[in-house]
Chains A and B, each alone.
Chain A
Amino acid sequence: MKEKEEKMSLVDFFRRKNSGDVARDRLKLVLVSDRANCSPEVMEKIKNDIINVISKYMEIETEGLDIQITQTESETDNGKVPALYANIPIKGMHHTSGR
């Protein structure tokens, strides 16, 4: 029993993140969305560039295209990470894209 307790505290010790690290990680995350929100011009540029690239391969509905910076759970268990989310409705594929 005693042994188990010791093990627990050791695990807790390693799992516990320093508050300084927590602060740094939270800040990095919040600044990604702050910076993105502060510059709609940049988001508009990204959007136009995405349209240009995707349009080479498929016909997309540019009106319905939605991009934003969001937070998502990391697949490698790093907690939340910033992500560029894009919803691009496809109207059809170009003939050449499959060849």
Chain B
Amino acid sequence: MSEVIVITSGKGGVGKTTTTANVGTGLAQLNKKVVLIDTDIGLRNLDVVMGLENRIVYNLVDVIEGNCRIKQALIKDKKYPNLALLPSAQTRDKSSVSPEQMKKLTDELREEFDYILLDCPAGIEQGFQNAIAGADRAIVVTTPEVSAIRDADRIIGLLEANEIRQIQLIVNRLRMDMVKRGDMMTVEDVCEILSINLIGVVPDDEQIVISTNQGEPLVGSDAMAGKAFANICRRISGEEVPFLDLQKKAGVFAKLAGLFK
């Protein structure tokens, strides 16, 4: 049974595309058949984060408009043959696609893939409406900042209004050193405020920047963020995985080990 998952946040720059790339790659590492769709028409990014920017021939709008078949537009990942990307169009705008067309597309992709991940654009306008149209579940990405959380709250309201029942939260770019000294909201604070279930916590990790520079998702590596994404993937596929002890690296914070349970 396949699932269509939209990765969204409201606010820009909190890590939607990075999350899509890492979760998609991580699910492929679990031997799932995965397709990633970049729905940010006009601001294409998922291709560069995946390192597939040089292989684009056709794009999402070409498929929607019938200029090519779906298969022609799908780009196979460099490492994982069971992972594909449907890139966005760079020279068009959001009105080139309608929610009905997106739903039809995702339903067609269900026949071939276990997971269809939609990288949602920032904002709550048509791009967002397109991205959520065919989704069964949603992953909301936020950082522990007031602006990002406020937008996440708005997004959660809109997802619920659109009858997306399963909505889960990723708290991204957590800095344990700042949480420890009281200068960053805790994961518990964020979960309590947004009152949705947590599916993962990703620490702020400079390895993410390095992996994005290289166009190779970090998931599965030994870096803390890589481990966090790998765990998120296992949770998405239904496994129960304990939350990472993000303090370990810092050593002195060991006392707060239970914080993420």
Please state if B183 and A19 are interface contacts (CB–CB under 8 Å).
yes
Q: Quick check: A24 and B193 within 8 Å, CB to CB?
A: yes
- Size bin of chain A's contact surface: 10 to 19
Minimum CB distance partner of A30 in chain B = B150
Q: Does A93 contact B (CB under 8 A)?
A: no
Chain B contact residues, majority secondary structure: helix
Question: Dominant SS at the A interface?
Answer: helix
Q: Are A20 and B183 in contact (CB under 8 A)?
A: yes
Q: State which of B153, B157, B185 has its C-beta within 8 Å of the C-beta of A24.
A: B185
Do B157 and A20 touch across chains, with their CB atoms under 8 A apart? no
CB within 8 Å for A20 and B145 given contacts A31-B153, A38-B154: no
- The chain B residue sitting closest to A17, CB to CB, is B182
Q: Report the interface size class on chain B.
A: 10 to 19
Within the assembled complex, what's the spacing in Å between the Cα atoms of A30 and B146?
Answer: 10
Q: A18-B182, A20-B182, A20-B183 are in contact. Are A34 and B154 (CB under 8 A)?
A: yes
> A19 to B149, alpha carbons, bound, how many Å?
15
Contact with A along B22-60 (1 / 0, CB 8 A): 000000000000000000000000000000000000000
Digitize A1-38: 1 where CB-to-B-CB distance is under 8 Å, 0 elsewhere: 00000000000000000111101101110110011001
Q: Is the CB of A18 within 8 A of B154?
A: no
Residues facing A in B182-222 (CB within 8 A) are 182-186, 189, 193
**Which residue of the partner chain, among A18, A21, A27, A39, contacts B150 with CB atoms under 8 Å?**
A27
CA distance A20 to B145 in the complex (A): 9
In angstroms, Cα B183 to Cα A89, docked, is 46
Residues on A with beta carbons closer than 8 Å to the beta carbon of B183: 18-20
List chain A residues, Cβ under 8 A from B185. Answer: 20, 23-24, 27
Q: Which residues of B contact A (CB under 8 A)?
A: 145-146, 149-150, 153-154, 157, 178-179, 181-186, 189, 193
Q: Which residues of A contact B (CB under 8 A)?
A: 18-21, 23-24, 26-28, 30-31, 34-35, 38-39
